[in-house]
Structure 1
Amino acid sequence: MEAENPRTVAPASEAALRAQFDTLAAMAEDLAGHFAPGPLLERILRHTLELLDCDSGSICTVDEASGTYRKDVDLGVGCQSGTTFPLDEGVTGEVVRARSTVLFDEYGQVRGGHIQGADRDLLHATIGVPIRWNDAIIGAVVVFSREAGRRFTSEEASLVERFAAHAGIAITNARLHAIAAERSQEAAVASERERVVRDVHDTVGRGLADILLRLDEAERRLAVGEPAGEALAQARRAARSALSETQRTVLGLGPEQLDGRSLSEAIALELAWAESAAGLSTRLVVVGEPGALAPETVRQLFRIVQESLTNVVEHASAHRVRVGLVYGEREVTALIEDDGRGFDVTGLSRPPNRPLRGLGLQGLAARAEHLGGSVHVESTPQWGTRVRAELPVAALSPEPDRSRWRLLIVHPIPLIRSGLVRSLALAEPDIQVVAEVGDAEAAMEAFDLLRPDVVLSALDLPHVDGTQLTSHLRAVDDEVRVVLLIGSIADDRLIGAAGVGAAGFVELSAEPASIARAVVAAARGDLLLSPEILSRFSISLTGGPEPLTAREREVRTLVEQGITDKAIAAELHLSVKTVEKHVGALLRKTGAANRTALAGLASGRR
């Protein structure tokens, strides 16, 4: 049975802690850049058993949808690697049922245990730890002890959970690598891969939005006692349409709406969808004489209008939307206007005269620029949004040998760096990772040697954080684009990072496609921020100077005395990382460029 109360344990010795650290570090270095799941998981399990002084265990991958799990690695007992079992059996089944770590004093307490005979009698204390990824259980690490009377401690459980986290990264990276390899084989030419990345994202996003709107309507009707059959039928039709449209996109057939129809007729169908999906009042205005447009111009202009309407339906809370088509001698222009809630980009345009492109809008710009055109976005809170796309009548041919965006990745964890390399290669073929390093010092050296287009850096780095790294890089080259990987939009350091010139922020938990969009937007000179981060910036930028907290005032006093972060941490009984965050907040709130400048401000006060 699962242990309910953690047992009290003595602190680990310094030598034991050093052994754990060395083993974890060695494992991370060994696994970085390798993506065959079998050897990865076997190494993780062997390291786990070594530190727990055990010789038997297994790592399984879980498929909750099918109700099964597979033993990928099995060491010491059983020899059942490659065997699949139902999720109501074994230690892994217990882990999935509990959704957490389980502890058994004897293996015999495990329901449906698979180890039988003499081996079963030799197994005593047993621990099972879930392997998680994005809040889902994708596997389990199981360790057996042959020592009679031994009980696994809560400290040992925490150690196994660390290895389970590495296993989660290994499994996910392996899956991403497999997907990337498969797609790479299927892509005959680079242009095909680029088309798939761009178009599938737009098509799937629109399809899902349509389905969710229909389901919301069904839920609303059920809540007031009205029949929901028609809304559910519409959701099914929307799902079939989304599947069909995605298949057409992958096969390169273009939007179904353009089959045998003119551009204005296809846009009229999209407006009818917006009316049906969100109850919008719509209008289509055509100005000028429609001439012969290049097929790629028609296709891309329709996609721009389609995605703009999807954004209106999903995000704008609008009542009316109008689309205008203006045919000129050399250009064709599409205008999409809504009366929705809009968004505020005051103070965030960079550089001057370049409009800010928020999350999702960068894709519209990429489509237009692909053909030598442009997209401009104007928006005011509560006064709606206006998108203007201008494309040449005779589309330019994209250059097949255009250089890729050169990217430098900075993150202290090798496995995460490797995962970013692989997932970005899958999400955006035009991104070329030129180097990946673990700290700010190495980043400065790599930047000086390689001069990448974009630096993608963790906000949390040893010694010098991402905000300080951004400041140092921009002191060397004020054209450098730095995108910061953040843990939370609530981090106080984001405003300071924006103040020293960070080009964008993206959460580390974001999908690879979102991270790729942020990198491409930065490379193009745009600022890509999610609505949540935009909202946070708007509040901070309009709320006046931020007061210091009581703790920040304490930290400031010690910083001004020239005391190191480590000494401040000891003085205030805080962790060094917490002190570093307080120092970063002080620099941001006071406007000081560094600790020396902060001390100078103190002298000025005196």
Structure 2
Amino acid sequence: MTGTTEAATTEAATTEAGTASAGPGRSAAERRLDTLTAMADDLAGHFELVPLLERILRHTVDLLGCDSGSVCTVDEAAGTYRKEVDLGVVCEAGRTFPLAEGVTGAVVRARAPVILDEYAQVPGGHIPEPERSALHGVIGVPIRWNGSILGTCVVFSRDPGRRFTPDDAALLELFATHAAIAITNARLHAQAAERASEAAAGAERERVVRDVHDTVGRGLAAVLLHLDAAGRGFASDDGAARRGAARSLAEARTAARAALAETRRTALGLGPSLLDGRSLAEALGLELAWVKSTAGLAARLVTVGEPRALAPDVARQLFRIVQEALTNVVEHAAATGVRVGLVYGDTSVSALVEDDGRGFDPQAVRRGLGLRGLAARAQHLGGTVVVDSTPGWGTRVRAEVPYAPGGARAGTGERWRVLVVHPSPVVRAGLVRMLESTEPDVQVVAELADPAQAVEAYGLLHPHVVLTALHMPHVDGVQLTSYLRAADPHAAVVLVVGSVADDRVREAATGGAVGFVGHDVDAAGLARAVVAAARGDQLVAADLFAAAAPSGSAVRQLTPRERQVRALLEQGLAYKQVATRLGISIKTVEKHVGAILRKTGAPNRAALHALPPR
């Protein structure tokens, strides 16, 4: 067995292999070009791994003048490899083997191409007789990506006189690069699909939890009110009161059955039964009748504007919003009256619920599931919910949604796509949870532990924002920002930083990072920074702005040359123009800019305009 590691030129490899298989009138270079063009077409937009690997393997054995081969994927951590594709041989595709066996095991141990004169030399080969005896020369190369071995590509010859050469290995490694792209793209696509599936499942779970909360809360409120009335009646010696208590028990049983039926409908994804065959106004009228009978409140429905037919989702969500608000009135408000308004505007419809109850402090209970559910329902449709309440002065809830659910963005199903990159799984999970629980318009399309994979993932997933950390091993936030901006000048990167005083923050800002948040940022602040970056704005958390505020003394520390550089930058000149004006090199200009940013505390050159006068 011979392990070959020397590199050979692709042109030489093409000449060697192409001569053996070029058709009449076709040169080796033309045949190679046709093959590579076909492979590029295969890779473009296709993510199913096995069909791609089959195409690549066919092109490979064709150019090497052979008819047999295999492609395997490798899991070095587990010490195994999997046969993915076979061509011309029975090599047990789909099975997994230890890395101590086969050509793949030899390639991984050598971490280089392996060439054998006879298949009989393969340790632990898996091709059975009599086909095994018909195979002679064998060549295998690693499929690499970012320094790791993802798999191997192996070609077999049935010609006893064929001897593979280092030139063949060089050509085979070229095809292995295409296989690496196929494997990486397939894995990233699978991760993206899994994330999309998880997001859809999460959204469905959130819908069910929210709807069940509303339905069960309403039902239990009715049951408890009837039971309370029954308890008071049975505690009385008055015969009429005791008969009324019996009626209250019967009503409690009816309310419990109705709540059970509504909960089942909710779990099945069906709308409220009151909306079946009714308009929203009619359904709200019945809901107010329930409020009157259950809590004894004075309830009134007011309709303003010309009623319009509403999309089913708009009617359902508005009904649920009003229903939840009324349940809160019945359970918590201690009100004597409630009014529901339905206002039809030109482009939107609004629902208002006003009561004269005890009121509350919205800030003190803003994290409750009920209020979050109201906001989430409206945001799902591209609308808003405003809760106005003061202790002792009642509560007013106003929900406004467009007639077309979600507006222009929801019409396309688009959400702000975010790629989260962080080496810590705990931190990644926390960032994802904060975003998804706070901002319904944000979709985390992938989570990566290795920042070295972020550029490839960015090219595949095209996220609106990359959320990552400033300090990471191997590739930090500054480097990752520069790599992403090199791949796409419009890439929006938001960094999680410990302190704005860190020199790396200024470097990242100079390199194009558009947002910074502290390690202690809350969910709302994180969502604001990400959404601002997605919209093309720049946002730094307020606490970082305060810490970054430069002092006049820092500005006065600039040298005369640094003041000249700063003055030219403020005129909008590029580094090259500054260098020409001052007769210095671009590198020197960059050093002066770094010193200016460091001394002034400005996060980037654009912020220099806000500094005190020079």
Higher-RCO chain (CA-CA 8 Å, sequence separation at least 6)? 1
Q: TM-score range by the shorter chain?
A: 0.3 to 0.5
- Provide the TM-score with structure 1 as the length reference: 0.38
- Provide the TM-score with structure 2 as the length reference: 0.37
